[in-house]
């Protein structure tokens, strides 16, 4: 087999493989899934930013509570309408982060001088 014939056969094989991979990609709806993941990621980031802002806000507790309830509703709506499930590793990471923040806050309060808390 000549070099030209080998190159032609290799090119044909790679073209066939590309066609198969494209068909699999399309049948699995990978493009749609990726777009949904990007949309959800941006929405969750926006909610996280708002939650952090509400948490640090010097507003009364009632106002914070209302803001956090609103954010909880937004998360619930996102989850209901999501076409791509959020991987468990991200949920676990978020729960761990919240637990660490609560623990740090409780430690700060317990170490505060008496009468300052």
pLDDT tens digits for range 34-80: 999 899 889 988 888 888 887 777 777 777 778 888 888 888 888 88
The whole-number average pLDDT for the span 96-111 is: 74
Handedness of CA 39, 78, 96, 104 (dihedral sign): positive
* Pairwise CA distance, residues 83 & 40, whole Å: 9
How many Å is the Cα radius of gyration of the chain?
25
pLDDT tens digits for range 13-28: 999 999 999 999 889 8
Q: State the pLDDT at residue 117.
A: 47
């Amino acid at each position: 087999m000549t070099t030209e014939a080998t190159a032609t056969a290799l090119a044909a094989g790679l073209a066939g493989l590309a066609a198969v991979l494209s068909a699999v990609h399309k049948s699995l709806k990978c493009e749609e899934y990726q777009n949904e993941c990007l949309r959800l990621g941006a929405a969750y980031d926006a909610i996280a930013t708002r939650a952090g802002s509400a948490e640090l806000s010097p507003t009364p507790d009632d106002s914070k509570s209302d803001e956090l309830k609103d954010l909880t509703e937004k998360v619930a709506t996102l989850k209901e309408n999501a076409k791509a499930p959020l991987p468990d590793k991200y949920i676990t990471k978020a729960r761990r982060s919240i637990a660490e923040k609560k623990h740090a806050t409780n430690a700060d309060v317990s170490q505060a001088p008496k009468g300052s808390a």
